[in-house]
Amino acid sequence: MIRWGISAGYHDASISVLDDDDILFGGHAERYSGIKNDKNLNQEIVDDALQYGYPDKIYWYERPWIKNIRRLYAGQKLKRNDIKNQLSAFGIKAPIKYTTHHRAHAAAGLYTSHFQDSSVLVIDAIGELTTTSIWTNNKKRWSQWYPKSLGLFYSAITDRVGLKPMEDEYILMGMAAYGDPNRYYPLMRKLYEERNLHKGCRDWLPGEDEQMRFDMAAAAQKIYEEEFRKLLEKVPANDNLVLGGGCILNCVANKIALEYFNNVWIMPNPGDAGSSLGAVLAHEKRHYRFSPYLGYNIKGLYPGRELLTELLDTGIVGVANGKAEFGPRALGNRSLLADPRGNDTKDKVNRIKKRQEFRPFAPVILKEYANKYFDMPCEETPFMQYTATCKAPNLFPAICHVDGTSRVQTVTRKQHPGLYQLLVAWKDQTGCPMLLNTSLNVKGKPIANTMGDAQIFAKTYNVKVF
C-alpha cells in the first residue's frame, strides 16, 4: 500500500512516499518550483512522487481545526480546510488523515532513529497551539503553548537584524560568534519573558549599526542555549534522546544535549518539511530504515574521477548526482566542493555564492580522521548537526568560523560510497582527508534539483558541475 505524507501551506512544503517496507521518496516543493522556502505544492513534485505509486492514503502534518483555534486566539483570519480541493487540483483523490503538528515532528525523529526506547524533545516556532513538547516514545509528557515560544523569539530577532524570519535563522546563528552576548542580554531576556513575539520586535530594540546586529545575534543565541538547557533538564531520564522541530537546526546549541544523554538522534530534516514523513509515521508507529537521499534522482555513477581531477586543477567543483538530499543541507549529492586549505578559498566561494563575508562553510571529512582534526562532540556527525572545534584552524582556514569551530560532516563508505571514495582519492593526492562542502545553489534560489538547475549554476558562476 502506498502512503503519502504532506506538509504544506506554511513554509517549505514537502511530500514523502512510503510503501509497506521502505521510505521511497522525500522531496521539497521549492526544489521544483525554484521559489525558495515555497509553502505550496506544485505539479512537478506531485508528478515525481507519483513515480513511486498513486497514494492509497494521504497523511497531513497537522490538524487544521486546532490551527484555526490558534488563529482565532491570535486575532488572525480563519481559514477553511480546503486540503482535499488543493490535492484534487493535482489529480490526487485519496482519503486524508490528520495528526497534530508536534506529534508529526516527534514521530519523524523517533521512527527514523534506531532507538527502541527514547525520550523526545520538539522545539519549533509555532504549529497549531503547541510550541514545545516533551515525549517518552509516542506519549506526550509535557508541552508549552502559544504565545510562549523559543522559536518565535529566535525568528523575531532574525527579523529584527534585517534577515528573513522562518528562513535565515541559521545566518543569525553564524552572526552570533561576532557579537558580545552581554550587551543586549538584559533587554532581550525581558523581551523573551514578557512579549508575544509572533508579530516580531522591530519597534522594540534600539540601534542599526552592524556591530549592534552581531551583538543582538549573540544575545539571542545565548538565551536560546540557556532555554534549551532548561528544556533538556525537564526531559525524562533515558540513555537515548530524539530531537525534532525547526529549532533543532541550531547546530551550535545541539551539542549541549550530549551532556545529558548518551545517544542523540536528529534526523537531517527536523523542521516542517520533515513532518511530511512524520505525518505517516505518527499513524503507523513503526521504525523505518532511513537515508537522507530521497529526492529527485539524477541517474548515473557518482563522478568521483571527474570531481577529483577538477579539484586538483582549480580547487573547486560542483556535483549533482543521485537522489537529492531530504533536508536543508547538501550532503554530497547537490554540493559545491572545494579545497579547505587555501587562504582565499572562503572568500572565493562566498563571492561565487554572493553570501555575506562572515558566513562559515562546513567540512566533509572521512570519519576515521575526524577526531584527529576536530574535538568531536560524538563519534560521528553525518548530517552536519553539531559544531566542533578545529584543532588546526591555521591549516584549514576555509572551513573554520571566527570562533574556531566547524559544522562537521563525517562520511563512511556505507553512508555514501561515492563521496567516501572521492575523499580517499583526494587524501591520497594531497594528504588532506577533507573538503569544503556547501550547497549547490544560485543566490536566492533553492538547492539545485535537476541537472538543468546544475547547469544554470555552472553557467552563472563559471564553475564546472558533474
Model confidence over 113-145: pLDDT tens digits?
999 999 999 999 998 999 999 999 999 999 999
| Average pLDDT score over residue span 439-462 | 94
Of the candidates 144, 131, 221, 224, the one whose C-alpha atom is nearest the C-alpha of residue 180 is 221
Residue 114: the pLDDT is: 96
Map grid coordinates 563519534 to a residue: 379
Mean pLDDT in residue range 188-208: 88
**pLDDT confidence bin for 71, thresholds 50/70/90:** very high
As a whole number of angstroms, the distance between CA 130 and CA 128 comes to 6
- Rounded to whole angstroms, how far apart are CA atoms 375 and 387? 9
| Strand segments (E) across 203-292 | 240-244, 263-266
pLDDT for position 227: 98
- For residue 442, pLDDT over 90 is answered with no
At 205, the pLDDT band (50, 70, 90 cuts) reads confident
Q: Residue 9 has what DSSP assignment?
A: S
pLDDT bucket at 152, cuts 50 / 70 / 90: very high
Rounded CA-CA distance 192/24 in Å is: 41
Q: 74 phi and psi, to 5 degrees?
A: -85, 0
- Average pLDDT of the residues of the chain: 96
pLDDT number for residue 110: 98
Label residue 20 exposed, middle or buried (CB < 10 Å: 0-12, 13-18, 19+).
Answer: exposed
**139's grid cell:** 506519549
Q: For the segment 378-387, what is each residue's pLDDT rounded down to a tens digit?
A: 999 999 999 9
Give the pLDDT score at 358: 76
Q: How many residues does the chain have?
A: 466
Q: Which of 291, 306, 333, 299 is CA-nearest to residue 441?
A: 333
Rounded to an integer, what distance in angstroms lies between the CA atom of residue 79 and that of residue 65?
9
State the DSSP code for 76.
P
Residue 230: HSE in the Cβ half-sphere, 13 Å Cα cutoff = 8
In the predicted model, what is the mean pLDDT of residues 204-230? Answer: 92
pLDDT for the residue numbered 236: 97
State the residue for C-alpha cell 532581550.
188
Q: In a 10 Å sphere around its CB, with 0-12 CB exposed, 13-18 middle and 19+ buried, how is residue 380 labelled?
A: middle
When mean pLDDT is compared across 44-53, 78-87, 105-114, 322-331, the lowest value belongs to 78-87
Question: What are 235's strand-pairing partners?
Answer: none
In sequence order, what are the beta bridge partners of 119?
Answer: 136, 241
Across the chain, how many H-helices and E-strands are there?
Answer: 16, 20
What is the distance between the alpha carbons of residues 228 and 66, in angstroms, rounded to a whole number? Answer: 26
pTM for the complete prediction? 0.97
Confidence at residue 356, expressed as pLDDT on a 0 to 100 scale? 76
Residue 206 pLDDT > 80, yes or no? Answer: no
Is the pLDDT assigned to residue 354 strictly greater than 80? no
SS3 368: helix
pLDDT band at 89 (very low <50, low <70, confident <90, very high): very high
Query: Can you spell out the DSSP letters for 323-360?
Result: EEESSSS--SSEEEEE-TT-TTHHHHHHHHHT--TT--
**Residue 277 scores a pLDDT above 90:** yes
> Measured between alpha carbons, how far is residue 352 from residues 20, 33, 62, 346, 360 in Å?
44, 23, 39, 10, 14
Distance of CA 163 to the CA centre of its chain: 17
- Judged against a pLDDT cut of 80, whether residue 342 lies above it is answered with yes
Please say whether the beta carbons of 329 and 266 come within 8 A: no
Please name which of 264, 255, 304, 233 lies closest in space to residue 407, comparing C-alpha atoms.
255
d(CA 30, CA 13): 7
Q: Where are the alpha helices (DSSP H) in 199-274?
A: 210-234, 251-254
Closest by alpha carbon to 370, among 411, 399, 342, 333? 411
- Whether residue 181 is preceded by a cis peptide bond, meaning omega within 30 degrees of 0, is no
How do residues 355-380 score in pLDDT, each as one tens digit?
Answer: 777 788 999 999 999 999 999 999 99
Strand-strand pairing, 362-366 and 409-411? parallel
What contacts 444, CB < 8 A, 6 or more positions away? 36
Residue 193: band (very low, low, confident or very high) from pLDDT cuts 50, 70, 90: very high
C-alpha neighbours within 13 Å on the C-beta side of residue 305 = 1
